[in-house]
Amino acid sequence: MNHNTPLSPRPLRHLSDVQQRVMTTAHLRARGVSTADINTQCRPGGSWQQLLPGVFLLRPGPATIEERLHAVLMYAARSPVTEPAVPTQPGAGAGEPAAPQGYDDAMITGLAALALHRFASAPPLLSLDRVDVLVPRLRRLRSTGCVRIVRTPGMPEPVRISGVPVAPVPRALADAVADITDAGVVRRLLTEAVRGNHCEPAAVVRELTNARLLSRPHVVDAVDSLLAEGRAIAEDRLYRLVTEHGLPDPVWNVDLRLPGGPLLGGLDAYWPDHAVALELDTRAPRQDDDAMWSEYARKREHLERLGITVVHVTPKKLRDSMEQQATVVRTALMASGDRDPAAYVVVLPR
């Protein structure tokens, strides 16, 4: 704060340090600063500067990354930073905040969000000429300065990173990829999302589908690489599930066939002595999702009619609850002794 400007005595302890340096016109007026005072402070050589329309940095010199991000959010948010309210609880001090500070209906997305999520393949925040900010579709805002407004019919739940609301990785990826034409960059971003354990491939593909980006050949190629990477990671976790949790060794990656009959389908793991099959569901939510799911369901029903128990596991479950999935497999193996013998099937390497 510049001590030459008369601010009201209302306390600022509900604001973070950066929110005491970056304020909107409304915040300044609420503290007794007139429009004339603001204009005076923002003259060339003055103590303040205007970062965006209606958003000011109350000190000279270049804005830091943190100040820039908060300025973007203050410009875009419906109700940026909670103001102090009259306390309603007995004994509460005057001017205490009514709620935690935050930004309504605005969050950082795109490359800036990926940088905040610590993506090595995303450009550093300092190098970005603009910051994408996600807002509801009906908000009346325009892109200006370093701010690019990205609209959505439904706002995702933000992730808080150092007090900044940030779009979850799948949504941030979709918003970033929408403006990238370099196939290599797109592939690196999508692959890192899975390799860095930020999210599952299905979540990324779902957002890319919603954004109508799968009509672009370079995005489709990157998605194929993403799915292959996700499949390899899921298979590695499946191997770990068996070895680290003391399960008997299955036969891996096999096809089952009735003797002299049709092919029953491929499996990721099969325990012949127990007639227990395990299948990884690595489907991506594309346009043929319903057809693929129908195929999964038909195969499962056929195997179970033959007396084979099918355990269905998703990559997300392997990542988030491996021990629980090991218990599911172990229970199926132990229960095999109580079932009628399964039909004889031929096991073939895939």
pLDDT digits (tens, 9 = 90+) for 164-219: 999 999 999 999 999 999 999 999 999 999 999 899 898 999 999 999 999 999 99
Q: Are 154 and 139 in contact (CB under 8 A)?
A: no
Q: Are 125 and 110 in contact (CB under 8 A)?
A: no
Report how many domains make up the chain: 3
Domain co-membership, 259 together with 336: yes
What rounded mean pLDDT belongs to the chain?
85
Domain co-membership, 240 together with 251: no
- Residue 328 in any domain: the answer is yes
Query: Using CA atoms, how far apart are residues 309 and 270, in angstroms rounded to an integer?
Result: 10
Q: Where is the domain boundary, 17, 43, 78?
A: 78
Residue 266, strand partner residues = 255
Query: Using CA atoms, how far apart are residues 174 and 76, in angstroms rounded to an integer?
Result: 20
- Residue 94 in any domain: the answer is no
> Does the pLDDT of residue 61 top 60, yes or no?
yes
Domain co-membership, 222 together with 113: yes
Position with higher pLDDT, 314 vs 285: 314
Domain co-membership, 219 together with 286: no
List helix spans (H) across 134-271. 169-177, 183-195, 201-210, 217-244
Nearest 5°: the CA angle 208, 212, 213 is 60
Q: Cβ neighbours of residue 319 under 8 Å, at least 6 residues apart?
A: 197, 200, 237
- Residue 144 in any domain: the answer is yes
- Residue 114 in any domain: the answer is yes
Grade residue 6 by pLDDT with cuts at 50, 70 and 90.
very low
Helix (H) and strand (E) counts in the chain? 12, 13
Q: Cβ neighbours of residue 79 under 8 Å, at least 6 residues apart?
A: 103, 104
pLDDT recorded at residue 222: 94
Q: Are 69 and 165 in contact (CB under 8 A)?
A: no
pLDDT recorded at residue 325: 95
> Does the pLDDT of residue 107 top 80, yes or no?
yes
- H or E stretch at 298: helix 289-305
- H or E stretch at 66: helix 65-76
Q: CATH number of the domain at 273, please.
A: 3.40.960
Query: Using CA atoms, how far apart are residues 197 and 230, in angstroms rounded to an integer?
Result: 10
- Residue 59 in any domain: the answer is yes
Question: What letter would DSSP give residue 310?
Answer: E
Domain that residue 211 falls in: 105-244
Domain co-membership, 259 together with 328: yes
Beta strands 131-136 and 147-152: pairing type? parallel
- Residue 98 in any domain: the answer is no
Pair of tokens at residue 67: 């100040």
Exposure on the CB side of residue 264, measured as CA atoms within 13 A: 26
Q: Where is the domain boundary, 244, 266, 287?
A: 244
Domain co-membership, 22 together with 43: yes
Domain co-membership, 291 together with 257: yes
Q: Are 134 and 106 in contact (CB under 8 A)?
A: yes
Model pTM?
0.77
Domain co-membership, 198 together with 301: no
Position with higher pLDDT, 14 vs 266: 266
Domain co-membership, 263 together with 326: yes
Q: Where is the domain boundary, 60, 78, 96?
A: 78
- Residue 91 in any domain: the answer is no
Domain co-membership, 128 together with 59: no
- Residue 93 in any domain: the answer is no
Grade residue 89 by pLDDT with cuts at 50, 70 and 90.
very low
Domain co-membership, 251 together with 238: no
Domain co-membership, 129 together with 224: yes
pLDDT recorded at residue 220: 93
pLDDT in tens, 244-303: 999 999 999 999 999 988 888 899 999 999 999 999 987 766 545 556 667 778 888 889
